[in-house]
Amino acid sequence: MIESLDLAARLEALLFSEGGGPMQKKKLAQLLDCKESELADAIHTLSDRRKDSGIALIEADLEIALAIAPSATETIRIAHEREIGREIGDAGLEVLAIILYRGPSTRTQIDYIRGVNTSSTIRTLTARGLIERIVNPEDAREYLYRPTTELLAHLGATEARNLPDHAKIASELAAFEASKGPFNEDADGVSEPE
């Protein structure tokens, strides 16, 4: 129940649900149905709670945000370097091929074609700047992944359809998907062929 959480905890949850990005204090007071003075107290309380954690509350005059605490930046830097330093391997190449030859695809579609979970591979490719995540205009609950201009430039193509054998491979990929039949999400959100 929302009543069981204090205002600072509700504030933290709201900031987290918005991806940690900056939010206007005035808007937060409206969303939390509180006075600006109550919000100021909640901000102070939340800031105190975050002092010894990896997440900090950043406050400007008109807005606040959640961010990586300065004490945790080295940990994040090392983790990113490890992730970027790894070879993308066959899994990465397969995901890139799907995105390049199929076109913008959801993680569910990529998982379905590969037959395995691709979350970590997609995270690695995104961190390296090879693919980017965009909002899916057909379903706001999912993202589409598409090649970045840097990847296309590295491959020497101005657009994906200029890649070698693009039409042939794209049609073979479409035929593969059609032969497997459409997929539906079951109650657990896992895609399965009909």
User: Mean pLDDT across the stretch 131-152?
Assistant: 89
179 or 144: which carries more pLDDT confidence?
144
Tens digit of pLDDT for each residue in 42-62? Answer: 999 999 999 889 988 888 889
Fold of 86-185: Arc Repressor Mutant, subunit A (1.10.10)
Cα–Cα distance list, 27 to 20, 30, 50, 63 (Å): 15, 5, 22, 9
**Residue range 2-71, CATH number:** 1.10.10.10
CATH 1.10.10.10 segments of the chain:
2-71, 86-185
The pLDDT, as a whole number, for residue 187 is 38
53 neighbors 69 (Cβ within 8 angstroms): yes
> Which band of pLDDT confidence, cut at 50, 70 and 90, is reported for residue 189?
very low
